[in-house]
Amino acid sequence: MGQTITEKIFSNHVGKEVKAGDIIDCEIDMVIGNDITTPISIKAFEESGATKLAKPDNFSIVMDHFIPAKDIASANQAKISRDFAYKHDLRLFFDEKDMGIEHALLPEKGLVLPGDVIIGADSHTCTHGAVGAFSTGMGSTDLAYAMVTGKNWFKIPEAIKVVLTGKPSQYVYGKDIILELIRILGVDGALYKTLEFTGDAIAHLKMDDRFSLCNMVIEAGAKNGIIAVDEITKEFLKDKNLRDEPKYFYSDKDAKYIKTITINIGTLSPVVAYPHLPSNGKSIEIASNDDIKIDQVFIGSCTNGRLGDLRIAAKILKGRKVSRKTRMIITPATTKIALQAEKEGLTEIFAKAGAVFSNPTCGACLGGYMGILGKNEKCVSTTNRNFIGRMGDRSSEIYLANSAVAAASAITGKITDPRDL
């Protein structure tokens, strides 16, 4: 019986052939912490009696949730990670001087590679499967174990093959494909499974789309999402200062999958996930007819805060104004993205339209700061979750959508099909 990409990555790491269901102890290529979760890991690390990191060059801390600090508590929380990073002279420490949301910043810097095994104390660590790596979120104490040993244990997940066919139509992106898949599977339909994306449509998906796809597999309960390396991946990696030599793995033709799901993305319209689950997806045709008035629009996060998202939004916003009763916040995922947006004139378009352009941060996505929702307010958001109270007051509502739908909705003040502008 052949192997999936995920099985091959683990086999390469442990030096023997493994299959779904096996429990293994495996070396980690990149451990990722952030300002929210790392302090717990640091406490566990120090309580273990450890005095040095097992693999200091394979451990990164990205300060991205409450940076700059929003209050005294978040400032003190951040200080724990800063003190630890300076004490251990951590090379891969990214703070205000080199800002970014971890799951956009690390690929940008060539720190996550094809063939890697990656863990992070953040559920959306699965994003990095877009470059052909095994990447998954774990708890803070799991992270501490990897800090001490350089390893962690895994149960090799069974795989679901997702075959994408056709060519996406206008204003259909990776966000719509993953929302459609979550609608099909439900929020637990891929529990502890690999979602492996394949099919002829992959060739039509840019890296931005692929990151969005893999980012949200956790919303269907998946352990990881993964896409095999192709020429688009290699082109993305070409100008990066790569941490190491990438390793390419491809599933065998006779690899075992527990299920195959086929989606013709050529017939797909933009998808909007209604409150309060990412699985509550409806087509933009339905959503735009429901006449849902919007108080806030947010474009950003590790799902859709990349340069492509900003370009999409700017193209729609150019020469137009944000609706009088609607607020719009745009958050670039990294400093590099922000600088390029300014260079291309995108920030001027946003400002003239009436949008706020912020520093890179996860703040609004998790209801931390930089765009908290008030009582009964409604928001169209390009983020990954629309749970009750996710972005603010428990009575508020979040509608997940792509950047084009978000921008169009900001202009009209209600959920809008960008094709209708």
User: Can you read off the two tokens belonging to residue 372?
Assistant: 């908290």
Is 178 within a domain?
yes
Please give the structure tokens belonging to residue 234: 């290699």
Q: Which two tokens mark 112?
A: 């996550």
pLDDT digits (tens, 9 = 90+) for 77-112: 999 999 999 999 999 999 998 899 999 999 999 999
315 and 397 fall within a common domain: yes
Place of tokens 């912490």: 33
Compute the CA torsion angle 17, 130, 237, 339 (nearest 10 deg). -150
Do 278 and 327 lie in one domain? The reply is: yes
Q: Specify the pTM.
A: 0.94
Number of Cβ within a 10 Å radius of residue 89: 8
Q: Is residue 268 part of a domain?
A: no
**232, 298: one domain:** no
Confidence of residue 171 (pLDDT cuts 50, 70, 90): very high
Is there a single domain that holds both residue 286 and residue 247? no
Residue appearing with tokens 């910043």? 105
CA quadruple 394, 301, 187, 130: dihedral, nearest 10: -170
Same domain, 294 and 236: no
Nearest to 77 by CA among 368, 394, 410, 371: 368
Looking at the structure, do residues 389 and 322 belong to the same domain, yes or no?
A: yes
Please give the DSSP secondary-structure letter assigned to residue 199.
S
pLDDT in tens, 275-320: 999 999 999 999 999 999 999 999 999 999 999 999 999 999 999 9
For residues 244 and 389, state if they share a domain: no
Percent of the chain residues past pLDDT 90, beyond the cut:
98
The domain boundary residue, chosen from 201, 230, 263: 263
Q: Give the residue-averaged pLDDT of 234-258.
A: 95
Looking at the fold, whether 206 and 323 belong to one and the same domain comes out as no
Q: How many CB atoms lie within 10 A of CB 21?
A: 9
Query: Residues near 252 by Cβ (< 8 Å), separated by ≥ 6?
Result: 2, 3, 4
Question: 274 pLDDT exceeds 90?
Answer: yes
For residue 1, pLDDT over 90 is answered with: no
Q: Is residue 205 domain-resident?
A: yes
Residues 357, 239 share a domain: no
pLDDT tens digits along 119-156: 999 999 999 999 999 999 999 999 999 999 999 999 99
As a whole number, mean pLDDT of residues 219-237 equals: 97
Token duo for residue 391: 């972005």
Domain housing 38? 5-16+23-263
